Structure 1
Amino acid sequence: MTTIARPLPKYLVQRYHGWRATTFTENRAWYHRLAEEGQRPRAMMISCCDSRVHVSGIFGADSGEFFIHRNIANLVPPFQPDGQQHGTSAALEFAVTSLKVAHLIIMGHTKCGGVAGCHAMCAGHAPELDEKTSFVGRWMDILRPGYDRVKDLPEDQQVSALEREAVLVSLENLMTFPFVRAAVESGELSLHGMVHNISDGTLVQVDGAGAFSEV
């Protein structure tokens, strides 16, 4: 079988060899244990694909600690068992029903391109995202209810408010999944939402009333 795949760039190969010679070698027993006993993460983290959001680095997490799922704008779609392919929903199902994570964290961030794109689309400034063929646009439709809640704010506040709505909408959608709701109501799972400021490094988290405060 032929393939269009090419070898890794040299700088990535060099970094891999450096990691294997240091971090892996120094912790070989731990990696062996993870391989043999399987993963038992206490938390699932749903964060943005943005390369500036370094989830494990922010929390000093080691291998095996977080079950991490990343997508554009850290969104969770509503429960929709339609027989189609749903990557985020599948990751969520596996984390809650198989791994039995105790914490499920939605982590948004400032300067999110996906959120800015959603704002532009909903405001009528990005017609290309309204096209049915736009994967990004159809994914960002998840956040339209959040846009409706911020559209009457002063214009210079809307995008940052929508970044927080991306977290709130995802938390709301989580509870439409029967297995999430059951785990939350039984006390086996707790939900958390936060926004990371990539400029100053701060975190704000949401409380039960939907208000954000600094961690």
Structure 2
Amino acid sequence: MRTPEELKNGYRAFRRGVYKHQASLYEELGRGQDPDIMIIACADSRAEPADIFNAAPGQLFVVRNVANLVPPYDQGGGLHGVSAALEFAVTALKVKHILIMGHGGCGGVNASLSAADDKPVGHFIAPWVSLLDQARKDVLSRDPEDPQRALEFAGIDTSLKNLMSFPFVEERVKSGDLELHGAWFAIAEGELHWRDSGTGEFSVVEA
């Protein structure tokens, strides 16, 4: 879809198809939501969580931003969009799982690597992806064959670590009411790689 008119045509097709067959579900969702899973994903147009996980409306509480990042807990000034969504999901919706989902060819990760070469990208992008600075240093110190992919994986670890800096997340994780997960989607191959919570290694989910 490239034009507003195509968006409207898409809506018309949605009304005639999906909505028509799921009208009762949408009516029920109009009274409230109760998802068990929160996904923090990249804003990239090629990695749509609902499509990847074949999810119906109301099943996923999704936050998308550049490079699927979670900032560390901070009560200081500024606007905290990700933190606000996280607080709502954990304390109000009481989700049982939070998944950080990265993907191949991430532009935000590439921007972080560019900053390492003293080529910061954008007025707003560069400060945002500076959340990856330490992960980038660690990755580059290992001289990996594919720095882009290595940092995409490491960025997921960074966001998982930052999640635990939020007191309300840490409390529910320790009580067993919340589990944290990581995954990475290979766009070209259509493969999902799941992070082992014990080893931190990623392996392909069998299709």
Report the TM-score range of the alignment, normalised by the length of the smaller protein: over 0.9
| 2:144 is the counterpart of 1:188 | no
Structure 1 unaligned blocks of 5 or more? 1-7
State the shift of 1:128 in Å.
4.9
User: Within 1, Cα distance between the matches of 2:82 and 2:65?
Assistant: 8
Counterpart residue number, 2:59 = 65
TM-score, reference length from structure 1 = 0.90
Counterpart residue number, 2:13 = 18
Counterpart residue number, 1:92 = 86
| 2:159 is the counterpart of 1:170 | yes
Counterpart residue number, 2:73 = 79
Q: Secondary structure at the match of 2:199?
A: coil
Q: Secondary structure at the match of 1:44?
A: strand
| The structure with more radius of gyration | 1
Q: Secondary structure at the match of 1:39?
A: coil
Instruction: Give 1:18's aligned amino acid.
Output: A
Q: Secondary structure at the match of 2:99?
A: strand
Equivalent pair of 2:144/2:150 in contact (CA under 8 Å): no
Instruction: Give 1:12's aligned amino acid.
Output: L
Corresponding residue to 2:139 among 146, 150, 174:
150
User: Within 2, Cα distance between the matches of 1:214 and 1:9?
Assistant: 37
Runs of 4+ in 1 over 4 A off after TM superposition: none
User: Within 1, Cα distance between the matches of 2:77 and 2:134?
Assistant: 24
What's the % identity of the aligned pairs? 42
TM-score, reference length from structure 2 = 0.94
Q: Say if 1:206 and 1:13 are closer, same or farther in 2 by CA, change over 3 A.
A: same
Deviation track 1:55-102 (CA, whole Å, cap 9, x = no partner) reads 101111000000000000000000011132110011100000000001
User: Within 2, Cα distance between the matches of 1:9 and 1:212?
Assistant: 39
Corresponding residue to 2:108 among 103, 106, 114:
114
The total of aligned residue pairs comes to 202
